[in-house]
Structures are given as structure tokens and as C-alpha cells.
């Protein structure tokens, strides 16, 4: 609040920003809405990927992990495998 009062940052609709136009907020809100829609698909495919042999964990990375997506964004997965089995798991997932 003090930074806003002193004019160092700006605040609008619960968003804080520095040296940018307020239309960035509209883009951020639209990106959050797209991320919410994409999370359903990401959760579905994460549950499938988690069932593959040698897969120990599945996480989301990239823009969706920041709860924001553009219309051209894709869903990036970070996959942990059993030690020594990364290439086998990767090959199976690529074939999928």
C-alpha cells in the first residue's frame, strides 16, 4: 500500500504493476481464464502419463504452472522417472 501511495507501483482490480499500461490486466485475466480451461485437459493427461511404466511423478511446467496461458501456449509436463529408465519412459510417452 505504501508503494502505491508513493507512486512507485500502480494497482487496479487487485493487480499490481510497474511501468505498464492497465490493458495488461485484461490480458492477464484472459490468460487466467484460458489456463483454467486448459487445467482440465492437463489433469486428464497427467493421470494417463502417471500410469506409464517407470513414471514416478508428473508436474506441470511452463506458462500453465504460472496460471497463465496465451492462445498459442501448449501444456508442458515435467516427468520424473525411475533412475536409469528415463529413455525407456520417454520412448513410450513419445509413442503415446
The model's pTM: 0.72
What is the residue-level pLDDT of the chain in tens, covering all 96 positions? 889 888 888 888 788 888 777 778 888 889 999 999 999 999 999 999 999 999 999 999 999 999 999 989 999 999 999 999 999 999 999 999
**Buried (b) or exposed (e) across 18-30, using 16+ Cβ within 10 A?**
eeeeeeebeeeee
Q: Using CA atoms, how far apart are residues 65 and 55, in angstroms rounded to an integer?
A: 20
User: pLDDT at position 47, please?
Assistant: 96
Beta-carbon-side half-sphere exposure of residue 18 (alpha carbons within 13 Å): 3
User: pLDDT at position 95, please?
Assistant: 95
C-alpha cell of residue 1: 500500500
User: pLDDT at position 92, please?
Assistant: 95
Amino acid at each position: 500500500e505504501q508503494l502505491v501511495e508513493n507512486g512507485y507501483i500502480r494497482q487496479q482490480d487487485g493487480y499490481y504493476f510497474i511501468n505498464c499500461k492497465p490493458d495488461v490486466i485484461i490480458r492477464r485475466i484472459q490468460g487466467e481464464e484460458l489456463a483454467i480451461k486448459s487445467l482440465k485437459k492437463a489433469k486428464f493427461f497427467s493421470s494417463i502419463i502417471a500410469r506409464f511404466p517407470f513414471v514416478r511423478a508428473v508436474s506441470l511446467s511452463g506458462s500453465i504452472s504460472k496460471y497463465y496461458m496465451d492462445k498459442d501456449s501448449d501444456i508442458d509436463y515435467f516427468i520424473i522417472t525411475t533412475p536409469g529408465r528415463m529413455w525407456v519412459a520417454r520412448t513410450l510417452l513419445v509413442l503415446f
